[in-house]
Amino acid sequence: MDFAMGAAGGSGDDQHNQSLNKGKKTTTYRRHKEDQRTRLEELFRKCPNPDEIERRQIAKDLGLEPKQVKFWFQNKRTQKKTISERVDNNVLRVENERMHNENLVLREALKTIICPSCGGPHNEEERRELCLEQLRLENARLKAQHEKLSKFLVQHMDKPILEQNLDSPIRGSSSHGPLLGSSLRLRAGRSRMNLGASTSHDSFQDEEDTMSSQAGSKIITQMEKTMMAHIAVAAKDELLKLLRTNEPLWVKSSTDQRYVLHLECYETIFPRINHFKNSKARVESSKDSRIVRIKAKELVDMLLNSEIWENLFSRIVTKARTIQVLENGSLENRSGVLLLMREEMHVLSPLVPSREFYFLRYCHQVEANVWVIADVSVDCMKENNHDPNCWRFPSGCMIQGISNGMCQVSWVEHVEVDEKIQTHHLFKDLVNRNIAYGAERWLLELQRMCERFTSLEVEYIPNYDIGGVITTLGGRMSMMKFSHQMVKSFYGILNMSSITDFPQHLADENTGIRICARKVTNSNQSNPNIIITATTSFRLPLPSQNVFDFFRDPIRRVKWDAMCYKRPLHEIARISTGTHPNNYISIIQPIHPTANNVVIIQESCTDPLGSYVVYSSTNILDIKRTINGEDSSTMPFFPSGIVISEEGQSITNARASSSGNGDVRTRGSLLTVAFQILMNSSPTMMMEFVTVVNSLITSTVENINDALISSFN
């Protein structure tokens, strides 16, 4: 009996221990699950939509299956969405009830209103029926308009438009609605030069998506996207008519034989909105067509990439970015791509204010191997409540592929400029006569850059490489890439609108000096260096070609460049950058080299509307590494240079003379000179350096005037 009781007691203890162990396991399991849930909640807050790799890592860390993690995140997102919708519904229900009660109160108040004329109450039912009838008619009209618009967009955009309200604050342009940078791979000849990422469709899409996510701008709603699509398609249709029609829409200017819009005829066909109601506005319009050495499809891809666009037209475009990709279009032919972009344009002088546009860019393939790319301004993306000072009506280009890797590009520019923005008198003719920003300017720059692409891949080394300095194709490519970076950096210093400067003036009313200081962002020193930049623009009564020949000649450099210290220079190597014999990159060295082993890299370029000579001194060891094909992106350079523009009146006189409508009068040139000097001292000494730089540029201008006037008189 005792044994049985003992056995029974032992069995009871075992059951009790098992129950305790089971309870501990349950508690441990619950804690483990609670920890997993807490960890998942934290991960969800950081990233509510992880990709496959992230889900696998989470599953590994928490001891779960990837499917469990996937379904948990799906359920959590659904739960969040349901809670959010429930809260929104409650808010709307309360608001609806409030409005209903307010409506009842107003209805009761209307019953007691007395008509002043007859002394009796209004016939409420009759008024109500009349209002309802008017609303029914308006609703029917809007539905018909929406159906028509939807069919129109389906036809042109190849995708259906969702049912939605079409009221929108976005304005259109007319009566249709209220070596480049690090991302270009160029093909020329049998090989290609990679200056960065590829321009394939995948890389293009990645670049644009990245820029959209980093834009930080307001969210574009579906309703706004629909209206933007309508504006873009209408702009494309208008641009096609402008491109395919001459008279009566376009007439030749009596002064320079350029095509300009006949505004009365244009406004009859395309009624437009006045965007500057508080002041008079000036209209700039131009049209031109040229053959460009590039394949049509490659050019389309380049124009749809904002980074390449900025580098391709760096003499005109200061900054460009894609704010949002509204339509991706076809990957095969790029037709249907719709981009919302921002662009800042400039003339290469600090005396002329820059122009800023928010615009839509729409690409449409008209027929086989023919594309049209239309730009049109929109005002939905203003930053800092800054009103635009110019407005782009439907403009753009038509690209038609022809044989031998070439294409015909026809270009239209149509811009309205607020007259409150005053242009400096030196550049007034150049800007107002549609030269600085006209269609011819864009096409000449496009031709020049495409010729540069072709010259990258020339397989022979030119015989004017005097000392056999550049012996490989890789060295040639590296030098051309470095020179492009140098010239683009020089363009950037000419736009001083956003930099605090120290204005100074010379005695001549046609001459002004602007000086600014900025820190060197890539300095490795503990105290950042400061760069002093000085620019000035002035007029010379000489043809621009004579002035250009003077500046590109290394032998005559000692006559004007104070930094040569009166030492004679000679050219030891030259790289052609185009078909024009005066477009090239030079390596210039003192005839008697000094111990500092410094050489000058200089690029010279000219076209019918102007020219430039940009240069920078650099260490000879860095140049040797570049010639050997090494990466030149980290090489320090502080470019200076001269921009030479044919005077606006001179260009007009020359064109009139060539057409037999006038005589060539005295031709003049506009010069913009810019210097950069690295200051290794503290910022407290900056004003002393400003004085030194001001004296330097003043003496340089005097040397230029003396040397040129004496040479050509």
pLDDT at 467: 56
Confidence check: pLDDT of 656 > 70: no
pLDDT at 166: 36
Confidence check: pLDDT of 202 > 60: no
Evaluate whether the domain defined by 40-95 bears CATH number 1.10.10.10. Answer: no
Q: Mean pLDDT, to the nearest integer, of 634-641?
A: 86
Going by pLDDT thresholds of 50, 70 and 90, the confidence category of residue 503 is very low
Task: Give the CATH fold of the 473-648+667-710 domain.
Answer: Alpha-D-Glucose-1,6-Bisphosphate; Chain A, domain 4 (3.30.530)
Cα angle 264-265-271, degrees, rounded to a multiple of 5: 80
Evaluate whether the domain defined by 222-380+388-457 bears CATH number 3.40.50.620. Answer: no
Q: Mean pLDDT, to the nearest integer, of 322-340?
A: 92
Lowest mean pLDDT among 173-177, 241-245, 414-418, 488-492: 173-177
Give pLDDT tens digits for 119-166. 555 566 777 777 888 888 888 877 777 776 666 555 544 444 333 333
Residue 151 has phi, psi (to 5 degrees) of -65, -40
Give pLDDT tens digits for 255-267. 667 888 988 888 8
DSSP assignment string, 5-67: HHHHHHHHHHHHHHHHHHHHHHHHHHHHHHHHHHHHHHHHHH-SS--HHHHHHHHHHHT--HH
State the CB neighbour count (10 A cutoff) for residue 541. 14
CB 364 within 8 A of CB 336: yes
pLDDT at 621: 85
CB 326 within 8 A of CB 440: no
pLDDT at 548: 93
pLDDT at 74: 86
Q: Range(s) for CATH 1.10.10.60 in the chain?
A: 40-95
Q: Is 35 left (phi over 0), alpha (psi -120 to 50) or beta?
A: alpha
Going by pLDDT thresholds of 50, 70 and 90, the confidence category of residue 10 is low
Sign of CA dihedral 505, 511, 514, 515: negative
Helix (H, G, I), strand (E, B) or coil at 329: coil
DSSP letter, residue 541: S
Q: Mean pLDDT, to the nearest integer, of 422-438?
A: 84
User: For the chain, what is the mean pLDDT?
Assistant: 77
**pTM over 0.85, yes/no:** no
E strands present in 468-621:
501-505, 512-519, 530-540, 569-576, 584-590, 598-607, 610-619
Give pLDDT tens digits for 80-112. 888 888 888 888 888 888 888 888 888 777 766
Cα angle 308-314-320, degrees, rounded to a multiple of 5: 55
The whole-angstrom separation of Cα 93 and Cα 178 is: 34
The whole-angstrom separation of Cα 14 and Cα 19 is: 8
Confidence check: pLDDT of 48 > 50: yes
The whole-angstrom separation of Cα 473 and Cα 477 is: 6
- Quick one: tokens of 131? 């209002």
Q: Mean pLDDT, to the nearest integer, of 455-476?
A: 67
Lowest mean pLDDT among 220-224, 382-386, 545-549: 382-386
Residue 163 exposed, middle or buried by CB count within 10 Å (0-12, 13-18, 19+): exposed
SS3 content of the chain, % helix, strand, coil (to 5): 45, 25, 35
518 beta partners: 531
Confidence check: pLDDT of 169 > 70: no
E strands present in 253-389:
259-261, 281-292, 317-327, 338-345, 355-367, 370-377
Residues 6+ apart with CB under 8 A from 496: 350, 514, 516, 533, 535
Confidence check: pLDDT of 184 > 60: no
pLDDT at 215: 43
345 beta partners: 317, 355
pLDDT at 350: 83
Q: Range(s) for CATH 3.30.530.20 in the chain?
A: 222-380+388-457, 473-648+667-710
State the CB neighbour count (10 A cutoff) for residue 40. 18
pLDDT at 84: 84
pLDDT at 120: 53
